A = this chain, B = another copy of it.
């Protein structure tokens, strides 16, 4: 599948604010598109592809594997969201996360260093340098808060409020894992909620 330049431009617009047309023209040369089938990986653990992805279509699950061999889902992202490995981008070391396409997924992606250089050559775009950092930082802060301040039940309610459509696109066991509970508990939480609302 091939995206038109116009679609690319629209997509790149979401990558950062204040991009001028000439900025986008530079970006567009290095921005590529790619498709993944369910079960394929955008990035695997141990890889150092310094790329940032914008999901045009589909759904990506991010997880890591802990000492015991369990998968820990840390993030679920879908259309019009940015995804990248913090290990690679920030620490310049191999990713500890897997990024797995869960549906047929189409992404626009580009090299992070290219974006950095563009910003270096255009100080007016300095704000964009922080764009991805902030993006990930906010997610992290939010995730910490949700674990410290909320009960599992409240976390679930928060999740379906901010991602109402996602519960139909991914098995509950991954959502449970993301929320830090077992699928069994999630099932009971769901049951509690429906009986409460009567």
Most buried by B among A130, A134, A140, A148: A148
List A38-65 residues whose CB lies under 8 Å from chain B.
Answer: none
Distance in Å: Cβ of A182 to nearest Cβ of chain B: 13
Q: Is A90 an interface residue (CB 8 A)?
A: yes
- B90 adjacent to A130 (CB under 8 Å): yes
Which of B91, B133, B143, B149 is in CB contact (< 8 Å) with A144? Answer: B143
Q: Is A183 an interface residue (CB 8 A)?
A: no
> Could you say which residues of chain B place their CB within 8 Å of the CB of A147?
144, 147-148, 180
Distance in Å: Cβ of A151 to nearest Cβ of chain B: 11
- B140 adjacent to A144 (CB under 8 Å): yes
For the complex with contacts A72-B148, A91-B134, A137-B137, 5 further pairs of A-B residues with Cβ separation under 8 Å are A86-B137, A140-B141, A144-B147, A147-B148, A147-B180
Report 21 cross-chain contacts, Cβ distance below 8 Å, ordered by A residue.
A66-B149, A72-B148, A74-B144, A74-B148, A86-B137, A90-B133, A91-B134, A133-B133, A136-B137, A137-B137, A137-B140, A140-B140, A140-B141, A140-B144, A143-B144, A144-B144, A144-B147, A147-B147, A147-B148, A147-B180, A148-B180
